Every structure is written in C-alpha cells, then in structure tokens.
Amino acid sequence: MKLGDGVEAAIHCAAMLAGIQGDGTMPGNAMAEAFGLSPSYLLKHLKALTAAKVLESVPGPSGGYRLARSAENITLLDIVLAIEGREPAFRCGEIRQKGSYALEPAVYVKPCGINVAMLKAERAYRVALSETRLSDIVADFNSDTDPRIVAASCAFVVQHQRPQKTRTINERNKP
C-alpha cells in the first residue's frame, strides 16, 4: 500500500497557507520553491485541493491560493481524499464469483465478508485521519519544532504572501 507523495506536498502547502494573514494568498510557484518541488507537479495537487474545496484559488497577477476555510475545519482526511480520491484502498474484485465453482450471480446477495472486514479497517484509518486537524499540525509545528525552522518558515510566508482586499476573514468563514 502506498500513498502518492502528493499527500506530503499537499499537507505542507496547506500548513503553510494556514500561516498567511487575513485573506492573503500565496502563488503556487512560491510553495513549489519552499519545498523544492516542480511547479507543474505541485500545480496538479493544488488544483485537486481546490476542486475538493480545501483551498481556493484567486486568479490574476496578484492571486494565488489560500485555505477555503479555517485550519480548524480542515482535517488530514480532507487533504488525503482530495489528493488520493475517495475510493477505498481495498477494491473488491468479487473473485469469489469468477472461479470454477461460482454459482449464478443471484446467489451473491450479501457482500463478501473479506470486503466487509477490509473496509472496516479502512474506516478506522479514516477516522484517525479525521481526528487530526490542520490547526493541530500547525500548533505542533509551532511548539515542537526547532525555533530556527519556525522562524525561517514564517519569514518565507511573510515574504511571499500576497494581501487581498476582496473579502475579510469573517466573510470567508460565512457558510
């Protein structure tokens, strides 16, 4: 089982955007630079996060990306599903119906117990991911990371964020 490495990039970018003041945005190129990623590679993942309404993009020369809602309301599950899709990792191929002793399809009314058990375990994974909010990641970063790293990250955000005048943070959080 493997998660695409886009998940790591997506969480780092979302955590960085959580540090932007007010309604400001940050261009994708700046985030690519921050993590040594190819801008076109990162753009694909930023678009997926935007499509999933984790981020929103502001067009135009002074635009960029920002969180679509507060970091308290974004979980790791939101980000993982945005990048990896909502399908379960275990995909039942119903091989119980494909072999030499298979009966007519109408007999297989109940779902295969193997599928049921595998999906139950995946629910536990998703619950655990949903219990970590982006704001937890940011708070842990600020309290547990070497202060030089925190300072460098803050300085990067201050340098690359772009203030926007379109909406206030309160307007953004309205339903």
Structure tokens belonging to residue 140: 């842990």
Instruction: Pick from 69, 118, 135, 172 the residue near its own copies by CB under 8 A.
Output: 118
C-beta of residue 55 within 8 angstroms of C-beta of residue 46: yes
- 158 touching its own copies, by CB under 8 A: no
Which helix H or strand E contains 66, and what residues bound it? strand 64-67
- 156 touching its own copies, by CB under 8 A: yes
Instruction: Pick from 35, 44, 62, 173 the residue near its own copies by CB under 8 A.
Output: 35
Conformation bin of residue 74: beta by default, left when phi > 0, alpha when psi is -120 to 50: beta
- Calpha distance 31→14 (Å, rounded): 10
- 17 touching its own copies, by CB under 8 A: no
Q: How far is the CB of 38 from its own copies (least distance, A)?
A: 12
Per-residue x/- track, 71-110, its own copies (CB under 8 A): -----x---x---x--x-xxxxx-xx-xxxxxx---xxxx
C-beta of residue 132 within 8 angstroms of C-beta of residue 75: yes
- Calpha distance 16→26 (Å, rounded): 9
C-beta of residue 17 within 8 angstroms of C-beta of residue 64: no
Cβ proximity to its own copies: between 56 and 141 the closer is 141
* Cβ-proximal residues to 85 (8 Å cutoff; 6+ apart), any chain: none
Cβ proximity to its own copies: between 51 and 114 the closer is 114
Which residues contact its own copies (rule: CB under 8 A)? 1-5, 7-9, 11-12, 15, 33-37, 76, 80, 84, 87, 89-93, 95-96, 98-103, 107-110, 113-114, 116-118, 120-125, 127-129, 132, 136-137, 140-141, 144-146, 148-149, 152-153, 155-156
